[in-house]
Amino acid sequence: MTINEKLANAINDQINAEFWSAFLYLSMACYWEQQGRTGVANWYKVQFREEQAHAEIFIDYLHARGGVVKIDPIAAVKQEWSSLEETFSDTLAHEMEVTKRINALYALAEEEKDYATRQMLNWYIAEQVEEEHNVQDILDNLNLVKGDGTGILQIDRELGSRVYTAPKVN
């Protein structure tokens, strides 16, 4: 069944939001690369790729449902941070906003009785739990070391080991 216009528009907005997330994380990756925190930069580069994958999943889904995909311009993203804590706090706040957006999309799918979209969004709901949890963990570690050099180096090394794996949607 072809997706209705209201839901297609909402998914197109989410495609744009996912690309905006990708740009935000790419900006963070570049900033921290320039500051010599290559592990943090690596973590954000993986995050950048994940967000692009999130957008692509929505694009493929919209095509599968006969919807029209609109690739809109991406709004500007922040380019500088004063600390790692600020960066990861921004990230957590952003992911919480994304969770709200996904929940609103789910509520709309329910309202429109579009059960296929509701089912597809289950993957994103679980993904958001993981996203928030991962960032919270890093923030907790940063708060624990309180700017201590050895601690920061250890966190940087750990974040440097993150490897991108393409998300598998059921």
- Residue numbers at the binding site for ligand FEO (CB under 6 A): 18, 21, 51, 54, 95, 98, 131
Q: Which residue is nearest to ligand FEO (CB)?
A: 54
Min separation Cβ 56 and ligand FEO, Å: 11
Query: Among 58, 57, 46, which Cα is nearest to 22's?
Result: 46
Q: What distance, in Å, lies between the first and last C-alpha atoms of the chain?
A: 19
Q: Which is nearer to ligand FEO, 54 or 152 (CB)?
A: 54
Judged by beta carbon, residue 45 or residue 54, the one nearer ligand FEO is 54
CB 155 within 8 A of CB 142: yes
Cβ partners under 8 Å of residue 65, min gap 6: 1, 2, 3, 8, 116, 117
Question: Based on CB atoms, which residue is closest to ligand FEO, 102 or 108?
Answer: 102
CB of 52 to ligand FEO, least distance (A): 9
Give which of 142, 8, 116, 136 is closest to 66, Cα–Cα. 8
Q: Which is nearer to ligand FEO, 53 or 145 (CB)?
A: 53
